[in-house]
Structure 1
């Protein structure tokens, strides 16, 4: 994978160096770097190297995930339960000697295939007519665990997969020991927020490809003719050509907007005109697993202009400065709210209009992933996730903002959104950041 990735990044870097309005003739052949889906091996490594520590940090003895067919737990495919038919119980725990174990109580008709995947230390077949939950509870009682995490959470939907009936059955079998059940919120947070180096490589692929597609999309713009929706359609075609999926809800990906702010939205039939600042907010999903989230901005030159007007250029530079300040603030041990504050100071100095959005958010398995929220420094209340500390291996999409009033009283925001990974000593971009506004000549 590393050799293919080096080839991909090198070629992408050369393409991005082209003038924004030059024709890109050289294309990347997807078959040159796509390859087999690496998720099975990455999943196994995540379970055995990251989950033991996640249990410790959450201060629990064990984590129980109950899987089933059709209405499965959101984390089923993270633990190997995506093919569950009958109810199966997945148990992860650290023993008293600090050794990590995983055991699954699986219906006998599915246990052989699950065991052959070699994800778990032990797969126990459950006879037809018997309860996997009851057998899991018998094992739990024998281990005398004090705290057992289950997927029931008020703050994290990913950790809230246990249904009412499943919990009722679990508590009935536990009896008085049901008092030992705690939410898996912290387990899931500590586990999913960290990405393996192999995953960072894949996210780098996604970021590079996302940025390249947006540059190509801007080359399609004909002022006075092209619409936002047509440019969005071009990006959809690029996704189909490369065999990737949407980074979030297909109806709102990409969001191409040459008019006033619309928030999270779909592209409209607005015609792109000279003097417009165009925003593309776009994300793709690789291997049906890892997603990107990047924005690129362009300015449509008016007749006689060779560069953006001073006010537009100032707005761009202000937003870019905020983005750079946010990146500089990212390092292990820093709270998410402090990353937000780093760029808000610059927004105040540049007299930006208020922007309600957080500076950034975790990105990885979904566009708004599990991890610290980079926001809250100017809100009336601070999200709990904003008080979380950044750690090495966390990946983020983050913005630098500048918002201003348009002549009709509406607002426009430049949000310089990039992707980065937190390293031991700071943070680094996953793709070359946008340094200058892309300039589109009027036709």
Structure 2
């Protein structure tokens, strides 16, 4: 239980929220700004260790990504073409000699790209010549049967090829060979959904900070005075002090809500009052790459209360146990929809109102990353990814749900959110899950 703070402590807290932090706080503000970014080395490992398996699983001979300046492919910095100027063609393929990466790069950028030592071969394309035409000629010489390109109606991360780029590519290939082009949906799915152990450890660190800062934020609450927006501002200050970014849209991160359900939204000026159940949905981004997605819940004790009322206790325990049921169901070979069903069964038994949200989602480079969707058992519409199976190395954010109708007719949902990585034998929490509802004292 959090005790009320002295007037001086409250003053210092609110000064910090307003950005007037003291020098000792500023001294620790660069904790991530000055750290060496591990992405360049991890990117190489992902290309060499994971991408060959992704091509095999997707049953394609090659994967082509066309990069360019200003309106680049979403996966540009995953393959080393984030600095492309004129069009460049990045080709990953397999033959009887193994896995290869070949780049046709504008001559003005080819030397710098070669020095990164990411790809097997970088071929300089003189000014006035076309990288797309050259890669098309190479693919025809290799007689590839299935060539994946980033054109997808289902996954934005696999939909980077523009209409005009595709027209140029098909013209260079010719009508007959263009029929061998297929969506890179499966390649991107198989590649992005698996995270290396080093990446999991970074996300574990992000999750730890995310949960820790939420607990610290709850300690600043003064019922009847503190607003949801002030609590959100406290967390924004924490992010700035430590040099970390937002895991999703900055205007909606963190989402602090002490009132009825509002879904993905911004924090408002609602004053936190006794009897409120407070939700903080918060995520941070480390090294401008890996993110967390954690929710923590608190209850504001009414006058005379020393513990939450029985109904609130029930809602909390129901949500917590629902999350545990989902966690226990998470293991290699299990479909996402089955993980959702494991929790849905408990929700029904415990009297929860219907909840529109899926139990969970992949998390990693973005909040809703590529991979199996942990949903579909409670709704008429099932996403195709809900039928995909979990694999070791996948990381998920998932919720324990319980929803109820409030006295004013609105609904409130406890959705305590945790993160877990799939292992060879099951799942492992990235951090200790929330076990107890946080209690905040009133006057």
Give the TM-score normalised by structure 2.
Answer: 0.94
Q: Encode CA deviations 1:351-405: one digit per residue, 9 max, x unaligned.
A: 1000000000000000000000000011112110000000000000000100000
What's 1:307 paired with?
Answer: 307
1:256–1:278 CA contact under 8 A, matched in 2: yes
CA distance in 1 between partners of 2:29 and 2:146 (Å): 47
What's 1:67 paired with?
Answer: 67
What's 1:120 paired with?
Answer: 119
Give the TM-score normalised by structure 1.
Answer: 0.94
CA distance in 2 between partners of 1:174 and 1:94 (Å): 19
CA distance in 2 between partners of 1:226 and 1:31 (Å): 28
5+ residue gaps, structure 2, are 14-23
1:198 and 2:195 aligned: no
Q: What aligned pairs does 1:113-262 form with structure 2 within 5 A after superposition?
A: 113-175=112-174, 176-262=176-262
Aligned length: 424
CA distance in 2 between partners of 1:22 and 1:112 (Å): 62
CA distance in 2 between partners of 1:383 and 1:150 (Å): 22
1:21–1:439 CA contact under 8 A, matched in 2: no
Q: Encode CA deviations 1:253-312: one digit per residue, 9 max, x unaligned.
A: 000000000000000000000000000000000000001000000000001101000100
| Aligned-residue CA RMSD (Å) | 1.6
Structure 1 residue 20 displacement after superposition: 5.0
Give structure 1 regions of 4+ aligned residues with deviation exceeding 4 angstroms: 19-34
CA distance in 2 between partners of 1:35 and 1:248 (Å): 22
What's 2:16 paired with?
Answer: none
What's 1:271 paired with?
Answer: 271
Structure 1 residue 193 displacement after superposition: 0.2
CA distance in 2 between partners of 1:294 and 1:346 (Å): 22
CA distance in 2 between partners of 1:47 and 1:207 (Å): 26
What's 2:335 paired with?
Answer: 335
CA distance in 2 between partners of 1:32 and 1:408 (Å): 45
1:51 and 2:51 aligned: yes
CA distance in 2 between partners of 1:41 and 1:21 (Å): 46
What's 2:17 paired with?
Answer: none
5+ residue gaps, structure 1, are 1-18
CA distance in 2 between partners of 1:306 and 1:269 (Å): 27
Structure 1 residue 96 displacement after superposition: 2.4
What's 2:375 paired with?
Answer: 375
CA distance in 2 between partners of 1:263 and 1:207 (Å): 21
Structure 1 residue 32 displacement after superposition: 6.3
1:101 and 2:126 aligned: no
What's 1:8 paired with?
Answer: none
User: SS where residue 214 of structure 1 aligns?
Assistant: helix
Structure 1 residue 407 displacement after superposition: 0.2
